Structure 1
């Protein structure tokens, strides 16, 4: 009797294990501030793409790109990250310069897809004498949280434009909402930098009355101080239609690319899910562009050449190139497993 119960118990445990294996894979994507564009893009992937790939995708708000790279390497369950191009390149450059920690972190990472250019918004008080980025030297600047793409580009761009770092006494790292409050109340901040694809929710959701308190700075590509930044970053147009409560006309700012990144996984079950994710991304791309964040309309399922030290993830690359060639296969529902097949371990 005991032997029969033991066998039955083992069979039941095996059945439950196999049934769990058939469930949706629990993956995570790391993004940025919950009110930013990266989070919105992650939410679109979770809602529109992941279900057809048999993935339950949890969207995690984070401190930003530098944090995302580390989370992708070390946080259990994180299989996707949205990363700012200059931050990724900084890791690559340091790895090439014999920084062993940077090499350990970045070398196993792989690109799934270039996404879009992230506009950098420089916000000042409405009565500020500042109008352009090249005028911010000496200002008290908040670049966002340590580990964020905004903080990185704030300090990198400042150094490029003014041939030196932001003075420590002038630099702060508050969350965007706290920095904006400080900007217009105690004035302990003169410039708030928000790196987010337009329309950035934290700005787009402002009421018309906000015009009395804040304005956005312009970037002048022809100014001498812009020459070096334009070797890394690109000009972009902030459209008045993105922020109708604040803007009456469009203007030029600076921007940086965003990429969807993963790890060089070789566990077959993970590879299979990532391939299905790429296939679903292809099949649902029109829906993303029609119903997702407006930034999806700037994304192309093209895979252009990457910089040295950047590598595409081969399994998703093959799938996306098949998509571009019109060869993608329809995602079929998984074949139902019998109890016997589950017990024998034939259910994937």
Structure 2
């Protein structure tokens, strides 16, 4: 007959073994459920060398995991394409969209365009993001110095479906009271257009819409100063004033492009929004609400470790224009987040009993 060794050492070892077995069993029970709960979503952005793409990567890294979402970041031709993809492409649950592109769909829906109405009416805003700076790039020896100088230039606005293309043509129409002549317009990628700008000079102006620092420009070497320069925006020029109802003057910082700029100057910008669809499925609503909660909880990480543009973002939800609506489940989480942030107090205040 065997006797049970109940010495303290044996009891401790047995307890540790039991605890380890229990934890392993608990993990086996819990982890598969969490893995099964993770939803596979996509976010559509713009070029993989642009700021929208970087914003998507930050959301995938810092926000999606705590929302039980596996978020795939998709490069696209830009905002106009993103509206269509969000509306019709399976798995696409989030999009970064320029304000003027969204408004263009709203306006056309309001004027009776059924296709525009079908695309934009079910879309909802999660959060206003930041202003996207518009970079007008010309050759270093170009006689052009301001955006209002480009009337007769050959201009590349980016790919069809991109926000930059819409900005380029909308701004041109506003500033010069008519559409850009087809002979002056091209729709190449930024990279292809920059090559044309420098090599065969078949392009005079390349328009890049991206929050600074735009990787495509920020990664240029110091020698780039010999080949290109950026145009300024003069808000006081008569041609510029008509654009100020839709677009906003912004400061282009030399710190954003130290290899290209020696001083700050004024450019023009447009707002960007994080957008989703008006989902009504219980599981999707649950994950989107968690996404909003995680956005609140990880916002400081986004601002500290994400793209510099996150430092210009606020979680406050300002009033939107006509035809724009917030998505209820995420809006509730973000408004609750703002209440919590207002009530948050310091350690000293807690010690003194000054916190409710």
The answer, yes or no, to whether TM exceeds 0.5 is yes
Provide, for residues 278-302 of structure 1, a one-character-per-residue CA deviation record: whole Å limited to 9, x for no partner. Answer: 0000000000000000000000001
**Relative contact order: is structure 1 or structure 2 higher (C-alpha 8 Å, sep ≥ 6)?**
1
Q: CA deviation at 1:257?
A: 0.2
Q: CA deviation at 1:165?
A: 1.0
In structure 1, the partner of 2:160 is 146
From 76, 92, 104, the counterpart of 1:62? 76
In structure 1, the partner of 2:184 is 170
* Matched ranges for 1:271-290 at <5 A: 271-290=285-304
From 224, 229, 233, the counterpart of 2:238? 224
Pairing 1:136–2:136 present: no
Q: CA deviation at 1:21?
A: 7.9
Three-state SS of the structure 2 residue aligned to 1:304 is coil
Q: CA deviation at 1:23?
A: 3.6
Q: CA deviation at 1:259?
A: 0.0
Question: How far apart in 2 are the matches of 1:29 and 1:246?
Answer: 32
In structure 1, the partner of 2:53 is 39
Moved over 2 A (4+): 18-23
From 170, 186, 190, the counterpart of 1:156? 170
Q: CA deviation at 1:166?
A: 1.0
In structure 1, the partner of 2:105 is 91
From 332, 349, 352, the counterpart of 1:318? 332
In structure 1, the partner of 2:25 is none
Q: CA deviation at 1:20?
A: 9.2
- The alignment's C-alpha RMSD in Å is 1.4
TM-score (norm 1): 0.88
In structure 1, the partner of 2:199 is 185
- Which has the greater radius of gyration? 2
TM-score (norm 2): 0.86
Provide, for residues 96-144 of structure 1, a one-character-per-residue CA deviation record: whole Å limited to 9, x for no partner. Answer: 0011111111000000000000000000000000000000001000000
Provide, for residues 2-51 of structure 1, a one-character-per-residue CA deviation record: whole Å limited to 9, x for no partner. Answer: xxxxxxxxxxxxxxxx9698241000000000000000000000000000
In structure 2, the partner of 1:346 is none
Structure 2 unaligned spans of 5+:
1-31, 343-356
Three-state SS of the structure 2 residue aligned to 1:151 is helix
In 1, are the aligned partners of 2:34 and 2:68 still within 8 Å (CA)? no
Provide, for residues 310-336 of structure 1, a one-character-per-residue CA deviation record: whole Å limited to 9, x for no partner. Answer: 0000110010000000079xxxxxxxx
Pairing 1:112–2:126 present: yes
Aligned residue pairs total: 312
